[in-house]
Copies of this chain bind each other. A is one copy, B any other.
Amino acid sequence: MALRRVAIDTHHENVAYLHRDCAIYRAEGFKALAKVEVRANGKRILAVLNVSSDPRIVQCHELGLSQDAFERLGVEKGHPVTVSQAEPPESIPALFRKIEGERLGREDFLAIVRDIAAHRYSKIELTAFVVACNRAELDREEVYFLTEAMVATGRRLDWHAPLVVDKHCIGGIPGNRTSMLVVPIVAAAGLVFPKTSSRAITSPAGTADTMEVMARVELPFDELTAIVQQHKACLAWGGTADLSPADDVLISVERPLSIDSPGQMVASILSKKIAAGATHLVLDIPIGPTAKVRSMPEAQRLRRLFEYVAQRLHLSLDVVITDGRQPIGQGIGPVLEARDVMRVLENDPLAPNDLRQKSLRLAGRLIECNPDVRGGDGFTIARDILDSGRALAQMNALIEAQGSRHFDHHHPPLGKLHFDVLAPADGVVIGIDNLQIARIARLAGAPKVPSAGVDLFHKLGDTVQAGQPLYRVYADFPADLEFARQATQRSTAFALGDASQMPHVFVEF
């Protein structure tokens, strides 16, 4: 049969298209949604079968492949291909055992993750794996096996340095753009810090989205390594590096199911960091009433799981539990967060102090990974680097190296439309709902529209008067503005009351 590229984007799933009247479809007794194996030129991929009766999509002598599947097979259009009923992926018996609740071993996880990374699992099989591994279904040894398998089935970077640092936050706190400050500070202190980040999945901005306001972040792998060699750091999107590819596939089903279990979180984060070549990692776990982690016991359980797996994989890990009661910084959305970051780097009096303080503390922890630095000195070193302008110089060097987009944070290109949300009464701000603020910023268009978002004028503990603006919502499109406005009318995300009603947290910083 002749290969045809069917220009349909089916996301991560390989789909093959056969015409209903094609001889092989009839002879082999394929069924729609059955899995088939497509071979050409010594290569093979598995795909889910869709059957068509429209010759404009696929003709009788042709086999069509969806976009991604076509790229994966990697032969040109019209090339002869053969197609047959797929043998199920090798790891399916292990998957079935997990569905039945069995504990799996190292080889099982390796086989499953290898099949997932090679896109041999259908969406049904992927979902079954994710749900079967949810909740208390994975013990910590299994989380270690899963993490190890996720590292083993992708590329693993080697920076030829004894000390390669990284930082990560488990997420859920809008505006929490500390990486963009920690990286230039710590790199200026001489440590190797090749930071690769994801784009926002469910939040209004990821580090990659925010950095992209100022510089290119989709760097070919060779360029990325050259930048790290010259500048000791980068702030790039991690998608091009093929790190823990199974993670990206798993996320495609975890996200629509809102699954974010401890085991899966640990495997996802640590596999990416180890594959990226980190030897030392500082991990930020924020806690608060609307954070991902809501109580100290829960944070401690999560910390122990991270520490167990990190230790088995020889990664030096420092977990810090931080204040997640409210957003960090002032702006939420790529452009607004880039503005905040640059204000901190320039020691601008308008810079949000919480973002500055948290970044300095995290940077201090990482600086202390250097055996020549005395415990406790890290924070001071970090502050000197920031105050002296060396962190700004390091950031500007990274922006130039990655490809500057000439962002002027004194005149940030904010959304053309905006409205303010006003305090309904006098009072003290006693709560800011992270989830609702994030939702409003996303409805306004962030991160897809970088200039959209929320600019906070008040934070926890501030005294406000009725009619004073609490925050401003920016958008570029009238429909987005209207969606965001409706959301603020359902809930402003701000709770006002008496200062004594403020929630307390007892955290490191």
Contact = CB atoms under 8 A, between A and B. Distances in A.
Nearest to A5: B54
A147 to B, nearest CB: 22
Contact of A57 (B7, B35, B127): B7
Nearest to A445: B29
A279 interface: no
Contact of A50 (B8, B33, B99, B122): B8
Interface string A144-186: 0000000000000000000000000000000000000000000
A496 interface: no
A57 B7 CA distance: 8
Interface stretch (A190-198, A205-213, A256-264, A392-400): A256-264
Contacts of A33: 10-13, 252, 256
A106 interface: no
Tell which of A6, A7, A66, A252 has the most Cβ of chain B within 10 Å. A7
Interface in A301-357: none
A124 B126 CA distance: 9
A490 to B, nearest CB: 14
Contacts of A128: 127, 130-131, 257
B122 A131 contact: no
Interface string A41-64: 000000000111110110000000
Interface string A63-80: 000100000000000000
A383 interface: no
A92 to B, nearest CB: 9
B6 A32 contact: no
A8 B54 contact: yes
B131 A127 contact: yes
A134 interface: yes
Contact of A11 (B32, B66, B130): B32
A379 interface: no
A125 B256 contact: yes
Interface of A: 6-13, 17, 20, 27, 29, 31-33, 35, 50-54, 56-57, 66, 96, 99-101, 122-125, 127-128, 130-132, 134-135, 252-253, 256-259, 445, 448, 477, 479
